[in-house]
A and B are shown apart, each in its own frame.
Chain A
Amino acid sequence: MKDVTIFLKKEGLEVWRTKRLILILTVFVLFGLISPLIAILTPEILSSFGSELNITLPEPTSLDSWMQFYKNLTQIGIYILAVFFCGSVNGEIRKGSLVNLVTKGLNRSAIISSKFIMMMILSLSAILLSFFITAIYTAVYFPDNDSPHIVAGLIPFLVFVVFFSAIILLGSTLFDGSMASLLFTIGVIIVLYLVNIVEPLQAYNPIQLIGENLSLVEGTMELKALGLAIASSLLLAVTAYLFSMKLMNKKKL
């Protein structure tokens, strides 16, 4: 635990001094700002194409804003996180910066734990910041009752991010290059989408956690319906984390 605290302080200083913290928060603040904005502007943009298209669009609601939010974060946001963190372990191994510390007695498992904790702190705080910004703007622009359960919609997504972070961590420990670990992470997501075709497995599939958020927000689905997917995601996250530790303990530095 002592080693985790020590290395976590170094990780914190690193994200601060290398401006990665600012960068990642800025990106997610932008997501938070543009989600309600796109919901407002989409009908106007479409109607600006001219009267010959003759499109009649319903008035946008808060649900459109949240739809845009989850679309942005699940289709772009998580992959930005993958790009940010895919080199977190293998980058340090490649440069040789861990050699001095490990030969000083730094526990290798502590490296993995600290990296994982920092990854989650950054990812979850960026997402929460984005969520609060979207929530405030949505409440201002769309004062309706169409989205009564916004927190319920967010919970599975946060669990998915924990799972996703563990996969990034595993990829970064398993492969020597950042590109290989990024492709591994994307590959896992593709496999999960393919697995989703098999109906009996759907309930356990972590991908469910980023597919039903809107139903939860509007209240047509309850959070407990995703219980199995949440449990399996957390189990897979713990497995990936433990496997990363095992790999790291035998990794050549």
Chain B
Amino acid sequence: MSDNVKRRDFLGYSFAAVAAVGGAASLVAMKQTWDPLPSVLAAGFTEVDLANAKPGTPSTVTWRGKPIFILKKTEAMEQSGRDLVIGSDRFTIAIGLCTHLGCIPAWKETMWKCACHGGEFNASGVNTFGPPPRPLDIPPFSVKGTVIVLGEEGPEYKQMAQA
């Protein structure tokens, strides 16, 4: 009798071990099925020429499906460690998605205002009001003359990311 129980327990435990290994392996497969596809990850690098930017009026370009704000600052706008300096011009470059929940803030004269939950960001992309927990994120970029390449991590980006 007790021998039988031990045998049945042994069978039970062996099955549990096999099922656990299989279950864990299939979870890995299921998790990775939901990961972004290689084609999505490889999706390109975007070049933007800053030479024709108008001071005080931001423009928006698309990079990896996200809006990127590019603002050439006017003299009146405060300077920030987040500025990209090219020659004598200062630029704000930021991912145009509110750091709260990802709506696109709209430019209102001197700042970006988010319609979803009322967050505000100044001309440097720094959060000044409402629920956003941090300034607008800076996309990775590198500088080639007056052209920036979004997606590449250049020295200017690394410096700004630390600021």
- Tell me whether A and B are bound partners: no
A-binding residues in B (CB < 8 A): none
